Amino acid sequence: MDRLDNTIRPYAWGSTTAIPALLGTEPTGEPQAEMWMGAHPGAPSRTGRGTLVEVIDADPQGELGTAAVAKFGPRLPFLLKILAAGAPLSLQVHPNLAQAKEGYEDEERRGIPVDAGHRNYKDANHKPELICALTEFDGLCGFRDPSQAADLLAALDVDSLKPYVDLLRAHPEEAALREVLTAVLSADREDMARTVTEAATACARLGGDYAPYADIAHHYPGDPGVIAAMLLNHVRLQPGEALFLGAGIPHAYLNGLGVEIMANSDNVLRCGLTPKHVDVPELLRIVRFEASDPGVLRPEASPDGEEVYDTPIDEFRLSRYVLPENTPARDLTLPTPQILLCTAGSVRTGDIELAPGRSVFVPANDKAELSGPGTVFRATVVV
């Protein structure tokens, strides 16, 4: 197995303190948003044998296992992260696999450079993801019932929002959500900025359930995404709870520290809360306009102590072990590749000791034993 040396991404929304606190390092004063663990070409983990991309390319069958290569090809199909949100991330959705392939091929045919700011599809893969809270974690996930969204907006008593309230109350669910989101994102920018300012003032005055939207508006003044955010469910995860974000589900992370895992893709369609490109027609084609419960996940324990976060995705499987002191070592050997990440305590796997924030890559079929005390997240695939 290989100890991983991982890159920390300094995105502007990142917390300046959360990842340093986990790692036991001094803050730099700069945002530290995400620590990437995996073989993503943008920031692959480094090992004593080279980058994880180089290690896998040299022997895909040996590193990933025969079954994983047959199912996913000669690449690690997931990316594991520690995510530390100090400010809201962009409001976004991800395409399903067919939409991603179609969109990628279309933009390739049209000759749009992959690194162009207005390109939507960086690759031909989907990007389902799971976020598991390490601290209290706030996010937005899926549409509210239109009548609930109408009540939330109506209580702000902002005249320019009243047409949206009427639409939400008058139309069937799908049509109501589609029409209002379309209207919000297509409105005159100056008019919408005034509406957002009025709404933000009202949210700050009302507090309570409105406080998250006042905070969003503080970070993104005048952004149409502030109103779009009020159409979504606000969720506060407790440590150990998780959210699964499937294709077409609008979502945003607002604040907190968590472990995130996703299919290895960069395909994001943004709805707002960002200075980046927002392709409204393509976004509206991808979004699933249906009210839904956020579906907070809690891990299901197996007899050997593994706690699994059940998702309908084969590209990744996330679980955790909470290991007491002086318990027998757990055998974690699998015929698939694994990344083990310590988030609390001090654990040992083989001759490698892991402190919080430290991780290892375990090739398929390599002997892997784990002992505590501590908490370890295990990322692998389903074959």
pLDDT band at 29 (very low <50, low <70, confident <90, very high): very high
pLDDT of residue 276: 87
Cis (ω within 30 of 0) for the bond into 373?
Answer: yes
Q: Is the pLDDT of residue 102 over 90?
A: yes
Task: List, for residues 244-300, the tens digit of each pLDDT value.
Answer: 999 999 999 999 999 999 999 999 999 999 988 899 999 999 999 999 999 999 999
Residue 260 counted as an annotated binding residue: no
Between CA 203 and CA 207 the distance in angstroms is 6
Beta-carbon contacts of residue 280 (< 8 Å; ≥ 6 apart): 182, 185, 186
Catalytic residue positions? 270
Residues in a beta bridge with 104 = none
Between CA 297 and CA 127 the distance in angstroms is 19
Residue 118 counted as an annotated binding residue: no
Phi and psi torsions of 270, nearest 5°: -95, 145
Residue 61 counted as an annotated binding residue: no
Give residue for tokens 């009540």. 151
pLDDT band at 36 (very low <50, low <70, confident <90, very high): very high
Angle at 24 between CA 22 and CA 30, to 5 degrees: 80
Q: Is the pLDDT of residue 372 over 90?
A: no
- Tokens representing 130 are 């799971």
Angle at 233 between CA 231 and CA 234, to 5 degrees: 115
Residue 315 counted as an annotated binding residue: no
Task: List, for residues 161-199, the tens digit of each pLDDT value.
Answer: 999 999 999 989 999 999 999 999 999 999 999 999 999
Between CA 347 and CA 240 the distance in angstroms is 18
Q: What is the pTM of this model?
A: 0.95
Judged by phi (left if over 0) then psi (alpha if -120 to 50, else beta), residue 208 lies in left
